[in-house]
Amino acid sequence: MTELSEKLQQLIEKQNAGELKAKDRYEIPAQEMPTQDGGQRRGNMNEVALGYTKIQARLEAMRCLQCKNAPCVEGCPVRIRIRDFVIAIAKGEDEEALAIVKENSLLPAVCGRVCPQEVQCQERCTVGKKFKDPEKSVSIGRLERYVADLAKADSKAPKVASPTGKKVAIIGSGPGGIVVAADVRRAGHEVTVFEAFHKPGGVLVYGIPEFRLPKSIVQEEIDVLKKMGIEIVCNFIVGRTRTIKELMEEDGYDAVYIGVGAGLPKFMNIDGEHLVGVYSANEYLTRANLMKAYQFGKGADTPIAVSKNVAVLGGGNVAMDSARMAVRLGAENVYLVYRRSEKEMPARIEEVHHAKEEGVQFRTLQNPKRILGDEQGNVTGMECLKYELGEPDDSGRCRPVAIGGSEFMMDVDTVIVAIGNGANPLIEQTTPGLEFNKWGNIVVDENCKTSLQAVYAGGDIVLGAATVILAMGQGRIAAAAMNSYLAE
Amino acid sequence: MSFNVLSNQKLSENVFQMDVEAPLVARSRKAGQFVIISVDENAGERIPLTISGANPDKGSIRLIYQRVGKATAQMAQLGVGDALGYIVGPLGMPTHIEKFGTVVCVGGGIGGAPLLPIATALKEAGNTIISILGARNQELLILEDDFRAVSDELIVLTDDGSHGRKGLVTEPLKEVCSRNPKPDCAIAIGPAIMMKFCCETTKEFNVPTQVSLNTIMVDGTGMCGCCRVEVGGETKFVCVDGPEFDGHKVNFEQMMKRMGAYKALEQKALENFKDHKCRVGLKK
Ligand SMILES: Cc1cc2nc3c(=O)[nH]c(=O)nc-3n(C[C@H](O)[C@H](O)[C@H](O)COP(=O)(O)OP(=O)(O)OC[C@H]3O[C@@H](n4cnc5c(N)ncnc54)[C@H](O)[C@@H]3O)c2cc1C
Ligand SMILES: Cc1cc2nc3c(=O)[nH]c(=O)nc-3n(C[C@H](O)[C@H](O)[C@H](O)COP(=O)(O)OP(=O)(O)OC[C@H]3O[C@@H](n4cnc5c(N)ncnc54)[C@H](O)[C@@H]3O)c2cc1C
Ligand code: SF4
Ligand code: SF4
Ligand code: FES
């Protein structure tokens, strides 16, 4: 540690003298994220990544070349002034850094943890380009998390303008809904957030596990909303408890934001998918996270399969989360079965690394053909096919092609299907006049306005499965449009 | 919002009737819909229960439930002054109510509870109602008087003959279907095995039959897929596509297997709960 702080001291002196050159910056080693030990964390739900120390954060920030054109900013969906906040950290002005981040992002502690930085801000970073390795880019996400976490203790609620007498309903309390609620409330409108579950937070609480995003962080953001005077009504399903029409015509809401997320898990449509022990990732993760099934019999009442050998199907974040959860729930072997190669996996690189460290066994270029069960309907195995990569498809990724006659058996008792979600039809079924596309996603214009007067939408229900930051970005656009609509 | 218990009454050995405050649900619910409740907001299991009646003026709904596991055992202990952790709903598609002509309503055990509001709505729509109510024994038979009030004809049976006819509901169902004219349609609600055999019976006579499925659920909004069943070869989600389906198309075998998924774990939870209760009792 002293070595690091000495090094930092020298660099600071150089920096203050205006003599810190690009060459010096390149020589600063990329700071590794301190993590819980791989073996130890297999047995607990605590957060894996522990966060930079102050020294590490400053060293990492000094790696930034302070590029004039700051290409990184272009890669951030909400255009955080990355260069400026990183410079502030390098100077030791953490509070200033946080203020800059907060101008554009309302949930930096969340985004710093879960953004797929390597395909967003960090993909464009000049330092990463220089080393021809995006993993060598300035760790923008980690720095964002560092400043966001400092703010925790005294996170204050933003100022609210004087009451306008207008009422806004937000449907769904995921990242999109949270952002819209805050932005619309700031303009002085009365805001109610309706959430179907008994806890607010959307995917941030029921999907993304504690070990990746502690629930206390999400709760703090929800508490800020409450401090701002936003009412959060849980156990309320719009479309069933009240329809959008009723909210607007009978309950006096002047505008509505729909942020209900994706929902509706996809299955593979193969034999055996109805067997006991076949889960959608949504079910597996909801049981484990929201319903705390990992404490079954020790305070929580929701059961989950006690598995020995688990196969997780898919290669995205949801698949990684499911696999790592299965490890923590005590499975001896967890296989991640993906039909392309590791290079094509859409998961965040960090999650792939963490999954491997925790002992998840990657079975790439394989895909199930059918799932087998016993008399009682329990899973006893999975027949798979081997694949090879063919020509690139529309998405630009190589198309996986099954190798004829390559069938083999995998010994598993649990199968978790993590191949994506379709759109939940509940709002469509209960909201006449609202326009949807053929996949069941809500159609919006560039202001996130839907085909209905005063009704806006964003996040996964508009984009299909997206990301936290994209949902937030749309939330900001919608909120701005709603505020100007309500001001008319 | 608090979901205060207004009354909680024992209907038979293991069947209870609870009136509980849930004003929003009471206002918008329709026959055939259900709620998901949890006894404990933080750690309780989410369990689906049919809304068997509602009083929108009082802002209350009626739940009739059988004590089978930990959650329902906890519910049975509640009284006036207690509250449920939460109630969410109404969930599921309402029953399609129209004037069909003559409708046979078959209720097995606790199935009578969800069946009653449907029979009532069908009666109000001008149908002739023939109800068949069955239970293992007299102790477990519920809602006989309520059914008598909405039915043009009521047949009551118990497996052991302790009350009404001795036998299974499929016997009188077969007789009713053999009449001329045969009934226009049937609704069967009860244990999966009973619904399965009712459907086999009505199929012979080509009497269209609705069933209300009681799969295991988590969210109840179509998000988790836990409640999936195969209906006519397609995957359906009971919580959003149902709970009622064309019984002649339901894959009951598969559904019954899925319902047993957590039997062992839940048995243990119930035993622990009972143990705990005994110890609490001893301290007093
Ligand atoms: C397991 C998992 C891991 C992920 N990992 C990442 C990651 O690492 N990085 C990343 O950027 N993204 C990740 N994502 C994707 C990201 O979480 C989503 O894109 C994002 O949460 C979408 O936000 P949203 O605002 O659309 O709403 P959601 O977060 O989907 O929340 C919608 C909310 O609306 C509620 N709701 C639904 N219907 C109704 C109704 N009718 N009435 C009232 N309430 C309703 C739901 O209960 C839910 O709480 C992950 C997703 C999952 C499932
Ligand atoms: C749409 C719907 C409506 C329902 N309406 C009613 C109702 O009006 N009254 C009523 O008493 N019950 C109803 N049920 C069933 C009720 O949800 C279960 O009895 C309840 O979940 C049991 O919870 P528990 O914790 O007490 O028992 P658990 O410990 O969860 O289970 C005890 C035993 O019951 C079995 N079981 C678990 N879940 C169910 C289930 N969903 N259905 C049947 N058996 C199950 C288990 O396999 C186990 O053997 C309904 C179910 C659905 C899906
Ligand atoms: S919000 Fe995401 S994309 Fe934007 S700077 Fe932060 S980590 Fe990068
Ligand atoms: S691109 Fe990289 S080096 Fe350049 S300003 Fe952004 S973070 Fe700094
Ligand atoms: S209960 Fe989750 S999808 Fe039906």
Ligand in nearest proximity to the CA of A261: 1
Chain B residues with CB-CB distance to A198 below 8 A: 38, 41, 85-86, 88
Tell me whether residue B264 is exposed, middle or buried, using C-beta atoms within 10 angstroms of its C-beta: 0 to 12, 13 to 18, 19 or more. Answer: exposed
pLDDT of residue A153: 55
Chain B residues with CB-CB distance to A277 below 8 A: 261
- Any ligand 4 atom below 6 A from CB of A58: no
A134 pLDDT band, cuts 50/70/90, is confident
How confident is the model over A262-308, as pLDDT tens digits? 888 999 989 999 999 999 999 999 999 888 888 877 778 888 888 88
pLDDT of residue A260: 95
Average pLDDT of the residues in A445-461: 96
CA pair distance A259, A243, nearest whole angstrom: 15
How far is the alpha carbon of B33 from chain A, nearest alpha carbon, in Å? 10
Assigned token pair, A375? 């008399």
- Other CB atoms within a 10 A radius of the CB of residue B40 amount to 15
CA pair distance B35, B221, nearest whole angstrom: 11
- Any ligand 3 atom below 6 A from CB of A120: yes
Pick the closest to residue A476 from A225, A226, A176 (CA basis): A176
| Closest chain A residue to the Cα of B240, Cα to Cα | A426
Residue pair A191/A166 in contact (Cβ under 8 Å)? The answer is no
pLDDT of residue A241: 95
| Closest chain B residue to the Cα of A281, Cα to Cα | B224
CA pair distance B260, A229, nearest whole angstrom: 46
CA pair distance B44, A38, nearest whole angstrom: 31
DSSP string, A290-316: TT-GGGBTTTB-------SEEEEE-SS
Establish if B37 touches chain A: CB-CB under 8 angstroms: no
The answer to whether A235 contacts B240, with C-beta atoms less than 8 Å apart, is: no
pLDDT of residue B142: 87
In sign, the C-alpha dihedral spanning A13, A19, A24, A29 is positive
| Closest chain A residue to the Cα of B231, Cα to Cα | A274
User: b/e string for B184-195 if b means 16 or more Cβ within 10 A?
Assistant: ebbbbbbebebb
pLDDT of residue A466: 84
How far is the alpha carbon of B161 from chain A, nearest alpha carbon, in Å? 32
The answer to whether B254 contacts A286, with C-beta atoms less than 8 Å apart, is: no
Establish if B28 touches chain A: CB-CB under 8 angstroms: yes
Whether a cis peptide bond, with omega within 30° of 0, leads into B243 is: yes
- Any ligand 4 atom below 6 A from CB of A125: yes
The answer to whether A198 contacts B88, with C-beta atoms less than 8 Å apart, is: yes
How confident is the model over A114-133, as pLDDT tens digits? 999 989 999 999 999 999 98
CA pair distance B126, B108, nearest whole angstrom: 24
Question: Which atom of ligand 1 is nearest the CA belonging to A178?
Answer: 25
Chain centroid to Cα A318, Å, comes to 9
Q: Which of A178, A208, A455, A463 to mutate to test the pocket of ligand 1 (most atoms within 8 A of CB)?
A: A208
Could you state, in chain order, the average pLDDT of each consecutive group of 10 residues for chain B (284 residues)? 92 91 94 93 90 93 92 93 94 93 94 92 95 90 92 94 90 92 94 94 95 93 93 92 95 90 78 64 37
- Any ligand 5 atom below 6 A from CB of B260: no
Establish if B45 touches chain A: CB-CB under 8 angstroms: yes
pLDDT of residue B79: 93
Specify the pTM.
0.91
The domains found in chain A, sorted by start residue, are 2-150 (1.10.1060.10), 167-263+422-486 (3.50.50.60), 267-419 (3.50.50.60)
What value does the CA radius of gyration of chain A take, rounded to a whole number of Å?
24
Average pLDDT of the residues in A166-186: 96
Establish if B223 touches chain A: CB-CB under 8 angstroms: yes
The contacts of residue B32 (CB under 8 Å, 6+ apart) are B92, B93, B94, B95, B114, B117, B118, B212, B243, B244
